[in-house]
Amino acid sequence: MTAIDLAGRVLAAEAARYTAMGWMRGTSGNLSVVSGRDPLRLVVTVSGRDKGELSEQDVVLIDEHGAAVPDQPHPERVPSAEAGLHGRIAAVSGAGAVVHVHALAPVLAAERWPAGVVLREQEMLKGFGRAAHDDVVTIPVVPNSQDMRVLGEAFAAGFRPDTPALIVARHGVYVWGDDLHQARHRLECLEWLLRFAVESGFDARERRAG
């Protein structure tokens, strides 16, 4: 089994998990892990497959621009169209894994707070890598686009090393971490925080201004 196949097996299991949570409907979403840094290489899920039914074969090795590199067992496999944003996020943030899912709560929150979703005074922020107190976390929201360079620029313009997530309005959320496990934990905690924000019905800014 090649290293790519091994990464594919792990990505397939993670995708099945998110699918069961309703966060990867149809063929939506994509997951990646960094396999090399110089030059940057990521193993990313291929385009167009049911994310609950991936096999270890359903991945492809890409460069930082999201293009399949020629030197791999199956260069003909087609990476997700969003692979370019995975590459940009990994390059800018130094993350080892990037997950992009279509959970509902992030998109609902972005619809309500299109300038960014403010979170503070929440224990669950620790699971996102921030402090539970005396810390203001703003999850950036960028407009949707089909051009990964446009999304990449919008991401980079708002990037802060301490905020490992990006909501793309009317689309979904990206979360990253040192590895898939950390990215998962951050995603699960962020989704909870955004669901809380949406269900409690008001913004942390309104509530805790001062």
Binding site for its own copies (CB under 8 A): 22, 25-28, 50, 102, 104, 107-108, 111-112, 121-124, 127, 132-133, 144, 146, 168, 170-172, 181, 184-186, 188-189, 191-192, 195-196, 198-200
Helix, coil or strand: residue 129 = coil
Q: Is 152 or 172 the residue whose CB approaches its own copies more closely?
A: 172
Tell me the C-alpha distance between 118 and 137, whole Å: 6
Alpha helices in 113-179 (DSSP H): 148-158
Tell me the C-alpha distance between 30 and 15, whole Å: 8
Q: Is 93 or 122 the residue whose CB approaches its own copies more closely?
A: 122
Residue 14 C-beta: closest distance to its own copies, Å? 12
User: Do 62 and 79 meet the contact criterion of CB atoms below 8 Å apart?
Assistant: yes
Nearest to 85 by CA among 24, 39, 145: 145
Q: Is 159 or 196 the residue whose CB approaches its own copies more closely?
A: 196
Residue 111 C-beta: closest distance to its own copies, Å? 5
Residue 8 C-beta: closest distance to its own copies, Å? 20
Residue 94 C-beta: closest distance to its own copies, Å? 21
Q: Is 41 or 102 the residue whose CB approaches its own copies more closely?
A: 102
CA distances from 46 to 19, 35, 76, 78 (A): 16, 16, 11, 6
User: Do 141 and 114 meet the contact criterion of CB atoms below 8 Å apart?
Assistant: yes
